[in-house]
Every structure is written in C-alpha cells, then in structure tokens.
Chains A and B, each alone.
Chain A
Amino acid sequence: MNREGGMPDAMLTAAGGPASAGRCRTVADAAARRLRRRRRLQAAAFGVLRATAAANVAALVLVIAFILYHGAAVVGWEFLSRPPTHSMTRGGILPCIVGTLLLAVGAILTAFPVGLAAAVYLNEFARPGRFLRLVRLGISNLAGVPSVIFGLFGMAFFVIYLKFGVSLLSGALTLAAMSLPIIIGASEEALKAVPNQYREASLALGATRLQTVFRAVLPVALPGILTGGILGVSRAAGETAPIMFTAAVFYTPGLPASVFDELMALPYHIYVLATAGTEIAQTRPLQYGTALVLIALVLGLNLAAVLYRSHLRRRSA
C-alpha cells in the first residue's frame, strides 16, 4: 500500500534532510491520491446504501401503484356500498369490508387485553429464571408459526372443539391468537423503554408494585403499546389462511347478525375471485379493486396507530 510516501520519506522531509523539492511534491501527491481514493470509496458506499433504502420504498410504491392502476377504476361508491351480484362478476364488496373490520375489531378486543396483561406480567412481575426464559422462547416461536397453522388450529379448537362453528367469533379469536406474539413483543418493548427512575420514584413514595405499574409505568408505555397492538392486528387482518377455515365463506348474502354468523372478508374474497370463480378473467378488475381496498384499510389502520401515538406523545411531553 505504502509504495511512496509513508513514514520514512515524511520524516526525512520534516528533518530537512536530503529530500529535494521534487521529493516533497511526490509525498504530497501520494497523500492527495490516497485522500481522493478514500473520498471515492465513501461516495460509492453511500450510493449503495442510498440505493438499498430507495429500493425498499420503491417496492412499496410499485405495489401500490400497480394495484391503484388496475383497481382504481372499479372502486367507487357502488363498489364499497353493495354486495356482490351475478355470481360475483359484478356488484360491490360491502360484506367483505364489514367482515374484515369486524374481524379486526374482534381480534383487537380479545388480543389486546390478554397481550398487555402477559407483557406486564413478564416485564414487571415475573422473577427472572428458567420459567421466564421458557415462556419468552415460546412466545417468540409462536411469532414464527405459519399463518395456515393458526388457521388449522382455529378450526380444530374454536370451530370444532368449542363448537363456535365457522363464525366471526372463531375467526376473530384465531386472528387474536396469531397477533398475540406481536402484541406481547411490542408491549414488552414499550415497557422496557420506560425509565426505571419512574418505578423507583413511585415505589419510594409507598406505592405498591401494582399501583406503580398502573399509575407510573403504563401511562408512559401506552402509546407504544397501542401502536404495537394495532400494527399486530392489522398485520393479521390482511391474512387469508387464518380465516379461510374459521370465519370466511365463499358467499353469504347478508352481513353477520351475531358473533356466531359466518362472514365474507377481503383477503379471502381476493383468493376466491382469483382461483375459484367461474369467470376469473371477468372478475380481474374486481380482484384489483378488492386488493386496493384491503391495502387502504391496512395502511389506514397503521396510519391511525402512528398518528394516535404521536398525539399521545405530544400530550404527555
């Protein structure tokens, strides 16, 4: 690397030895060359990093643009407010939107309290040890279980064993089970981010550990917990596999009247239109329209979560 320049030359020059003006220039030139090379390397590295970041955004933009391009034409008031007609080749997707919203709300209502309670126990009360490690291992493995397995579990346990049938209840509980690990993980992260000094201040004032959790810890952690909860459920709400055996049906004329009714849902509707219809080519615009609505719904939920979090942060700061 150091063919020219380097220490010996520099020392000679500095000592005012036999180094001529020409030699001096070679040393300076070598240093300048090295500097240019480092600059080029840095520019190249930054370019690569910037490109990867851009690729991520591009993928999202591309997917949304593609679906928008193909689906925007069918999405209108008709499409959003009417049930499908003519063997699903025409009409709207109202039952699917309502079904997915109901499933998401049901999943939030059941998974959120359970997940929050579990996270509070794990992070605030459980004594560290083998049992705690085992539970944590279980939760992180649960997060890696494929969604179709959750679907089969939901069918075996909720639909058949508990006799809930193919219903809103079974589907919501299955989605809840699936989003639990995400909710617990996000809640634990939010609880860990609460500075210990709040816990100490509270306990030193004679608060019990339970009071400390409810009055000093949870208010600080709540924005993060809520966001995590909504993100977890919105992720699950877009899944087809967990609901195809537990809640969703090919076609049902009305909206569910009770939690024991079966329903239509957006992800399953897309799957049905794309694979099982009689006129797949004819329904293609409807498929894109449904996909667009589903994406809008999921992104909307995420956006709401993010906005709510920043609202809470501003209020508490």
Chain B
Amino acid sequence: MNAVPPAAVKAAARRLHFYYGSVAALQDVSIEFPARRVTALIGPSGCGKSTFIRCLNRMNDLIPRTRVTGELWLDGENIYAAGVDVVDLRSRIGMVFQKPNPFPKSIFENVAYGLRVNGRKGREFIRRRVEESLRKAALWEEVKDRLDASALSLSGGQQQRLCIARALAVEPEMLLMDEPCSALDPIGTQKIEDLIVELKTTYTIIIVTHNMQQASRVSDLTAFFYLGRLIEAAETAQLFSRPRQQQTEDYLTGRFG
C-alpha cells in the first residue's frame, strides 16, 4: 500500500478518513486521479465530496478539531506527511469556490494577487502573466479595456472566470472546483463548462457538482460519494449508463438524494 502511484496518476487517495471532531465525514476513500483529465465528484449534500477536495489542498487544516488519517498523494508526495509545506502545496493547486469570491480590488490586482504573494516581481512579467491568465479563462476580451475597474463590477459569471484566471496565474498543476456554477445562470454555466473542457489539456481538474448533466458533459471520470464513502468511480459514460453499484443507480435515477 505504500508504493508511490504511477506517473500518469496526478493525485491519489489511499484509505483516507476525515473527522470533524468525532464525526467521520470521509471513510476509507481510495481513488486515483489521472493527469490531464476531468474527474467529477457527485453525490447528495453532505456526502463528503467538498470535504474531499478541500483535503487535496489542505484547506481543511483551517477548521479546528479536525483529523485526517490515510494517505493523499500528489505526484509521488504524500501531502499529509510531516514536513510538507502547506503554503507551497497550495500554490501548486488552484481552487475555485462555490460562490465567486474575487477580492474587492481591481480586476488586474485580483489576477496578480497570487504572483505578488509568491514573491514574483517585475512589472512587465506580471502584466504579461495577468493577460495570459485572463485569456486562458476566456475573459480577456471582455475586460482588457478596464483592468483597473473593481472586480465587483463584473457579472457573477465573469467574476467566476476571474477567479479561474486568478488561480491559473500561479501556474498550478491541478485545479479544484467546488460547485463552480451553482451561483451562475445557464449562460455563465455554459461558458465555465466550455472553459473546463479547454483547460483539461493542460491541467488535472477535479470538479464537485450537484448537476449530473454537468458531470456527464464535462468529465472523463465520475466518482459517486454517499455518506462519506466512495461508492463507485468509473469512466463517466460507463458510470452513467451501466453503474455497477445499486446505490449509484438509485441516485442517478433520482430515487434518493
């Protein structure tokens, strides 16, 4: 069980347990995330999927009285091992949250934020990286003439793409998305989904979603969580058409959740 996962696997959980106090939010989760693929995590509210992706960049460290056991590998490194630098880890993993959360700063400064805190210097370098990131997030054309405007003046969908640009600016290897479209209208959702499909050529993406159509549209693999356990993980097409577990089928057909 202690072997390093193969190179094509970007991240992997092995017998991961997570506790809030004495409540187990994740139990015995083992899963592998192939590089440059989109993996969707689905399941009813409270099933542990958000908790799981927040383990991957150790955002759960911020919550008091939580405990983790098991292993979580990123590129041959167990990120819960002693001596792992959490700050460095987080700069290698981008995260997009449920609600668009740009800082109350200018559009430019939002994207430059990650570069500045990571100590990257040089006006021209930062300017170019901001432009690249906004282009990758398909937002450049809409904001290039008002980079100094407040990020809060953008629409919800634009704000979410700005948050994606902000995450991409630090050149992460992996992108975690926690229900990134739940606060957006159908047009905003469509743009983010197109973006995800485009970004997977460079990044390993894990997306939590409540929307099963979304999972089937954007993901290569889908993992179904229920009551803190990983019930089934498979190729998306296969999981949706021929689920192996009864619970998965019940959930997909709307019998619960």
Contacts and interface: CB of A to CB of B under 8 A. Distances in A.
A201 B91 contact: no
Given A127-B64, A215-B117, A206 B97 contact: no
A142 B37 CA distance: 58
Contacts of B118: 205-206
A220 interface: yes
A30 interface: no
Interface in B92-109: 92-95, 97, 99, 101-105
B203 interface: no
B113 A202 contact: yes
Given A127-B64, A206-B118, A197 B88 contact: no
Interface residues of B, number: 30
Given A211-B117, A216-B103, A204 B152 contact: no
B150 interface: yes
B207 to A, nearest CB: 15
Contacts of A128: 64
A141 interface: no
B101 A208 contact: no
Contacts of A220: 104
Main secondary structure, interface of A, reads helix
B233 interface: no
Nearest to B109: A215
A42 B170 CA distance: 60
A205 B91 contact: yes
B97 A201 contact: yes
A204 B90 contact: yes
B62 interface: yes
Nearest to A127: B64
A205 B59 CA distance: 11
A207 interface: yes
B90 A206 contact: yes
Contact of A198 (B64, B88, B101, B150): B101
A200 interface: yes
B59 A200 contact: yes
A100 B113 CA distance: 43
Nearest to A208: B87
Interface string A202-226: 1111111001000110011000000
A205 B97 contact: no
Interface in A179-205: 195, 197-205
B101 A200 contact: yes
Given A128-B64, A215-B113, A317-B152, A204 B103 contact: no
Interface string B187-210: 000000000000000000000000
Given A208-B87, A208-B117, A203 B64 contact: no
Interface of A: 127-128, 195, 197-208, 211, 215-216, 219-220, 316-317
Which 10 pairs from chain A and chain B are nearest by CB?
A206-B91, A205-B114, A197-B101, A207-B117, A204-B95, A206-B90, A211-B117, A201-B101, A316-B104, A208-B87
13 contacts: A128-B64, A198-B103, A200-B97, A201-B97, A201-B101, A203-B62, A203-B90, A204-B167, A205-B94, A206-B90, A206-B91, A215-B113, A317-B150
